[in-house]
Chain A
Amino acid sequence: MNVTSPVRPALVLRQMHDKNRETTYHDVTNDICKQVEAGFNPRWMGAMAISLVVLAWGCYCLYRTWWFGLGEWGLNKTIGWAWDITNFVWWVGIGHAGTLISAILLLFRQKWRTSINRAAEAMTIFAVLCAGSFILMHMGRPWLGHWCLPLPNTYGSLWVNFNSPLIWDVFAISTYLTVSLVFWYMGLLPDLATIRERATNPISKFVYGLMSFGWDGSAKTWARYEMISLILAGLSTPLVLSVHTIVSFDFATSVIPGWHTTIFPPYFVAGAIFSGFAMVLTLMLVTRFVFKLEAYITREHIEVMNKIILITGSIVGIAYITEFFIAWYSQVSYEQYAFINRMFGPYWWAYWAMMSCNVITPQFFWFRSIRRNIYWTFALSIVVNIGMWFERFVIIATSLHRDYLPSSWAMFWPTYVDVGDYLFSFGFFFTCFFLFAKFLPVINMAEVKSVLKASNEQSSEGYADDEYNTVEEKAVAQH
């Protein structure tokens, strides 16, 4: 039976080197294992060196933060929370795409997630670790970090306050990290077994053998594996939504004008998916280029992700406008001032950077040619993440810097240590991501193989459409 559906293009394209034949299961194994089995690529080493330098500088700034205390930061009596918490929320937001792709898209039976879920989940885990590092940083005394947990103690048995959203955050973030890690690792087992069976070097054979947990791919194991994937997806779906909801509660349950709005949970979740997908696109476009994975991460994948960016970006835009409307409609002068101050106060540049990056930029994706264009997508995905950083900065700094008492109004300016701590998270994130990309398969081979057959039936014309950036380029090339 050969059914060709015009609305569902192929997920795996024909091989770059031989377009006359269909991709086989063995091609998938070879293409994905190649980068794990090959030696160190000079481009990889260069990228790794840069991220290690950034990480080293970040570690120096981290040392200053912990050794000399939070006085190293640009905080003052009015603004006790700015740069660190902005970075925290930004990273947690980025960490939303991976589990969304692997959990929610699994429940919705979206087959296109198969070639991007592995890297997106890895990115999630590293992003959440970066977010966690800012929690530890802003504690000032990180060795007392365990005080966040309800541990038995000798202070008259004093417990944590379960009425506080900050404690909810501790539970939400640590659960999210643990469940995402488990989900990711279970998905890795079959692929680690593939690498183990192919390994020729005894060290790789031993290490991948240890890591693959003795996976044999029996029908019984697969049936149970599919069951746990489904249940983990079902558990992770509300979990993803709960994490950013709880992060938004950190602000929404306070009494600060500009923060205590009921719109925060859905608005934060949409923003998180928005920035998460942007980061997935940034990383996947680079990975696709470096490891030559054009047959697996196709323009089709890029286009659907851009559609999600368009929709979540528009939700974020509506949320911005709704906040303004409600501030006016509430007739609360403090609330109204907070929003006028965002727009025209001393931080106007941050506000307009946020508006132009987050509201205007995604609207370009209404055009199919832009959604399918690699260069546009890459540039816009970075712009979106810059905008999302400014969103958090605007919400946090502008609401705090002019409080109820004009004599205490102040400004927050980051010091070099603030910037260095932010760079620490970048260095850490990219070091982890590059290590992952080198030593683990970046695409879920087993899942790609499971959609390969259906994809091959549709790929007879798939490639032609995929070689060009735009419809115009294709037309020019064909003449």
Chain B
Amino acid sequence: MLSPDLRSNRPRYRIGHAPFIGQESRPERRSRPVTDPFAEAADDPGGRRALKTTLAFFLHWWYLITALTYQENVSERFLPKAAAAAAIAFPEGDVTDMDISIRDAVADDFEIVVALDDGSKKDDKPGYWRGIFEHYVYENNPDRIFLVAEKAGTVVGFIVGEVRAWEFGSPPCGWVFAVTVTPEVRELGIGMRMFDEIGRRLKKMGVTTLRTMVDLDNKRALSFFRGIGMRSGRYIELEKHLLND
């Protein structure tokens, strides 16, 4: 089926329904004289009818061929554009075919992780990430998971999570507290692949629920978590601003 862009550009007549002379759907043809010098020279009405029929026959095929050519032109004109648009959205086809691998983070990933982190307080973050690497990468604690996504050997995203037990009175559950994908390869399912992998590992540890917390204004992250099936849970985050007296 034609894409919406193509649909609006398709001819007003369709193959198999090429109009004949005088048909309502072709006003430009309707205004053209249908008389022919050869027909005018013929005296007998039968000859005129035969000529008209012949003319109609040729015109029918002319419309048919024009319609076919027009459609081909439309295809040539718009399909590459559509293909280019698809190429922007999916540079290497379906994400399952892409050269994406998910692996445990290693010490050498530190700098790229800090660079990928799009948090607002950039200056404070290296210290924060040093602590995270210490506890989630170097310690090799099985309850703590730090994964990175690689595309063609380059780290393009990361996800961090762990099992937390009895925090806020909750039985052990999985928490994902950081996930990022570099803007150039977003919306290709890489975040979902990382989330699936961390979910698989956390499930193996025996947890049945995953939780996270997202800033109310972070629509992108909220939409991502919503998109992979997360919903408001049983715990409500409350806070109070501590004012200086």
Tell me whether A and B are bound partners. no
